[in-house]
Amino acid sequence: MASSSSSSSSSHKNRPSVSTLFFLTLFLLSAFLFIFFFRNRDPALTLRSDLLLLHPPPLSIHVHPPNNTQTQPETETEPEAESAVATPTDTDTDTKISVDNTDDTQAESDAQDENTVNGSNGDNDSSDTDDEVGAVKKQLDCDLYSGTWVKDEGNYPIYKPSSCPYVDEAYDCQANGRKDSDYTKWRWKPHGCDLPRFSPTDFLKRLRGKRLMLVGDSMNRNQFESILCMLREGLQDKTKMYEIHGYKITKGRGYFVFKFEDYNCTVEFVRSHFLVREGVRVKAQGGSNPTLSIDRIDKTFRRWKKADILVFNTGHWWTHGKTARGVNYYKEGDQLYPKFDAVEAYRRAIKTWAKWIDHNINPKKQIVYYRGYSSAHFRGGDWDSGGSCNGEIEPVLSGSILDNYPLKMKIVEEAIQGMKFPVTLLNVTRMTNFRKDGHPSVYGRNVTGLKRVSTRRQDCSHWCLPGVPDAWNELIYANLVLQQANSRS
């Protein structure tokens, strides 16, 4: 009995009291209400935290290439397809340039620069946007190559005469002693619209990570030097633009690559007089003579394939003696023609070029321009027979010369119209008809130290810089701007 009483007393002690149960229940109820209240106030809070813990953001690591670029040995092997843009050395072997198109910091910087270029503070003004759209539509409907030259002393030239180190002596007319300067102050004005105002900074942004290549004769080298000088105006630190091999531009060298370090892009020149293959025939009796294979593309074609934007030209060399005569000069396959018409040879050569473009250039990744024939202005002869143009200080404003349109241009137009690839024709022929004042004439070499200037041989084909080729590059810029605007609209 005593044992039973003791057991009962112990079990009563182990049981929780009513007050303990009450407070425990109250605590659990409070905790439940607390959790329920905060989850309903911000149901996504815990979810966001969980996602951040389970899926942390990836780290962006940008590896920048070393500044020094080494020249690689010459090789004829075709490079493998690369996602990175390649900058060539003086050979066909390329050095890679790292391109990062996903850098948010750079994108933000570009957006800020774009606002500065456009004179905007970044606010979206609907009336301004409507005006811009209207202007773009007007320009898209406008023939950029039909117009006139207007004097614009406030905005031209785009770069000062003799200020650009990339103009070689043959085109540096002011340094060579030319006294007048009005020829530098003309702006090309299409009928019915204006070209977009040239912005070297914006142009460089559009070239970021890309290769712009001019392929052709000395007229394209004239244009190449012009575009280098124009783009140079957009650089704060001009030491970040340089020829990657250290070459100085001269007539004797046929390949140049200028790198714009801050934009990871290059502007290049490849010499190709005819766009088809030059060769040499060894005669049985000894000696040799030049030939031109009008059915084979020029041997520099490997470099063309690597460019993002290409600007081609040919024309002036087709009027030279051996090319014009066509005696034992033109070839197709293994056949050397004893006599062949130069115009027909030109037609077939342009078709060879057009066919090569159609089969080798990708319209989704590359842009091709063909820059039309540039007019010469010789009086009393030709380039090799006493023709002259010295003393011309004003453009031609009227007369039959303004309507001149050579057969070469009609042949080019026909070829481009028959192509699959959408080549843009920069039809500068008529705009150059006006500019008899723009040639070096006797100022193709330095005559400042001479008592008497020789007028025996004058250059009335090429152009002083700054000058007419600047307008050709403004047309390239205008096409890039309008093409992008059209794709967005």
Q: Write out the chain's pLDDT in tens, 489 residues.
A: 444 444 444 444 455 566 667 777 777 777 666 555 544 443 333 322 332 233 333 333 233 333 333 333 333 333 333 333 333 334 444 444 333 443 444 444 444 444 433 333 334 444 444 555 566 666 778 999 999 999 999 999 999 999 999 999 999 999 999 999 999 999 999 999 999 999 999 999 999 999 999 999 999 999 999 999 999 999 999 999 999 999 999 999 999 999 999 999 999 999 999 999 999 998 878 889 999 999 999 999 999 999 999 999 999 999 888 999 999 999 999 999 999 999 999 999 999 999 999 999 999 999 999 999 999 999 987 766 778 999 999 999 899 999 999 999 999 999 999 999 999 999 999 999 999 999 999 999 887 766 556 667 899 999 999 999 999 999 999 999 998 887 776
DSSP-derived secondary structure letter, 214: E
Q: Which of 92, 437, 462, 470 is catalytic?
A: 462
φ/ψ of residue 86, rounded to 5: -110, 140
CA quadruple 201, 202, 208, 213: dihedral, nearest 10 = -90
In order of 224, 261, 343, 425, 479, the CA distances from 312 in angstroms are 11, 25, 19, 10, 15
Q: Tell me which amino acid residue 200 is.
A: P
Q: Which of 218, 226, 293, 441 is catalytic?
A: 218
Q: Are 385 and 457 in contact (CB under 8 A)?
A: no
Q: Catalytic annotation on 120?
A: no
Q: Are 440 and 197 in contact (CB under 8 A)?
A: no
Q: How far is Cα 398 from Cα 379, in angstroms, rounded to an integer?
A: 17
Residue 258, H or E segment: strand 255-260
Q: Which of 202, 459, 461, 470 is catalytic?
A: 459
Q: Catalytic annotation on 191?
A: no
DSSP-derived secondary structure letter, 443: T
